[in-house]
A and B are shown apart, each in its own frame.
Chain A
Amino acid sequence: MSKPIYYQTAAELADQLSAGELTSEELVRAVIDRTKKVEPQVQAFLSFDEEDALAQARASDARRKEGKALGPLDGIPVGIKDVLAVTGQPLTCASRMLEKFVSPYDATCIQKLKQAGAVLWGRLNMDEFAMGSSTENSAFQQTGNPWDTDRIPGGSSGGSAACVAAGEAIVSLGSDTGGSIRQPAALCGVVGLKPSYGLVSRYGLVAFASSLDQIGPFARGVEDAALLLQGIAGHDPRDSTSYKTEIPDYRAALKEKKGPWKLGIPKEYFGEGLDPEVEKAVRGAIEFYRKSGCEIVEVSLPHTQYAVAVYYIIATAEASSNLARYDGVRYTRRSDKAADAIDLYFQTRAEGFGQEVKRRIILGTYVLSSGYYDAYYLRAQKVRTLIRDDFMKAFEKVDALLTPTSPVPAFKKGERTADPLAMYLSDIFTISTNLAGLPGISIPCGFTGSGLPIGLQILGQPFAEADLLAIARHYEQAHDHHQQHPNLD
């Protein structure tokens, strides 16, 4: 037995479960033991409920015994970012505002995972209300990057990435508004997929920026990302922006789609600010695709330089509106210092929100305020059109785009917290994807000299997740970056 159970993939474990070589209870116990061992260093979980996870595992084993196993995710522990509603479990969004909130219902993706028999495991740390790129904006704890726990895991889904890298879950779910799945996946050396806008229902995802938010998987391999995406994708009448489209068999597509592909290299993603070690690893990956028969074409996305500015107008504007609901009336927290009904709003929001959330609400409120709407919000929406058009033009020539996921590897805790703009710029390669609604995946493509993971980002056409996964798998099959694990022992 080479790999410990907690470092095997869902695909491998599913085979062992169906062959009767392993029970879900044994698997979940192995994951719980691993979590207890490394959690003092990693701190990926805001909370977890062992007994609840074991009960789900035993139910899975009982189903299997009766010959009623539900599919490849049955009995597999899936970590959940603390922004997704699971009935009866906490839903804090890593915010003091929702410290005591308990979900009254299941998010659609959670309901689907329950129907697939998955074991829902824990509540994963994140930047407060998913606002951040380092998970340092959590009101409760700082997650460490498993490869170097003095460094950040990326964000906002830092807990989701770190727990998969550290073997504290087999796969996990996160959410991505401007890179919050792909950037932490890159920084923690795991696979992270942001689906096309509308592929996965947002019902039960606490809203940050509704026109950008998507839920997606983290995994230690492309096949596992495909399995988990299969489990959560599909139209949902409870999310009016969810898209009616045929959902392909993603796992089968990995075998069927062989390439060669025509791949574009956007020149704007290889400029100033790109770490030389990151550039070298990504160029190495591009070279691999070229040598294996893919045609590599340079393309231009000329409005890339405006993406961060557009994003911080649109995302904060939408956030200021979405977070207006936390007013001390309905969602658990209420200030006891309020003088009257209006003051209740002021005091509750002052006490409940952290610094970054306040900063973004202020910015969002400002750009929507009377006299500034046209200059900021409307203009940003128009530039958003141009950013999307750039991609659509590029996709007339190529099947997918290859870029770095993050301009830098994981940085030290505290290094960027004093300068919000510097932090915002760490999302420079991931943000455009959300503005254009495209799918994107980050896969491990190497390490820095000091052993920090580097991610390759592959961007695809709307609803071309099957192609994206196949292109990612093509690289993965010829490399072993994804099979390396941090040393936490």
Chain B
Amino acid sequence: MKHSIDIDYVANLARIALTDEEKETFSRQLDDVLGYIEKLNEVDVSGIEPTAHAFPVKNVWRDDVAGEAFPVETALANAPAKRQNMIVVPKVVE
């Protein structure tokens, strides 16, 4: 069956490894959801400004002064792997 979403393409963009079962289930469920969302095509939106935030607060400035910051140990306390005050990640460049 043809689904609305190319699940492999989207899962790759989302950086989630899905099982075959998840791919099948999500594709089917998202067909329903997207079918429902099609409703929006009925609405005439010509000339309507999009709303990103309910109360547009513009140009929020603050003085450029340093505030309090965490000590390094606190900032790294939740990192899964660390060494010499840095977070360790798998090798990126060969």
Contact = CB atoms under 8 A, between A and B. Distances in A.
Interface of A: 100-102, 104-105, 196-198, 211, 237, 240-241, 243, 303, 305-306, 308-310, 312-313, 320, 324, 327-334, 338, 340-342, 344-347, 349-350, 353, 355, 358-359, 361-363, 365-366, 369, 376, 378-386, 388, 419-421, 424, 435-438, 462
Contacts, number: 166
Contacts of B74: 104
Interface residues of B, number: 50
Given A355-B22, A358-B18, A381 B39 contact: no
A343 to B, nearest CB: 8
Contacts of B19: 350
A385 B51 contact: yes
Contacts of A359: 26, 29-30
Contact of B75 (A104, A240, A345): A104
B81 interface: yes
Contacts of A350: 16-19
5 contacts: A211-B52, A333-B80, A346-B16, A366-B5, A379-B43
B24 interface: no
B2 interface: no
Contact of B53 (A101, A211, A346): A211
Contact of A362 (B5, B36, B41, B78): B5
A302 B49 CA distance: 18
A259 B91 CA distance: 67
Contacts of A331: 78, 80
B55 A346 contact: no
Given A313-B37, A365-B10, A384-B51, A358 B26 contact: yes
Contacts of A342: 15
Nearest to A359: B26
Contacts of A424: 33
B40 interface: yes
Interface in B62-94: 62, 70, 74-75, 77-81, 87, 89-92
A100 B16 CA distance: 21
Contacts of B5: 362, 366
Contacts of A383: 40, 43, 45, 48
Nearest to A352: B16
A197 B90 contact: no
A224 B70 CA distance: 35
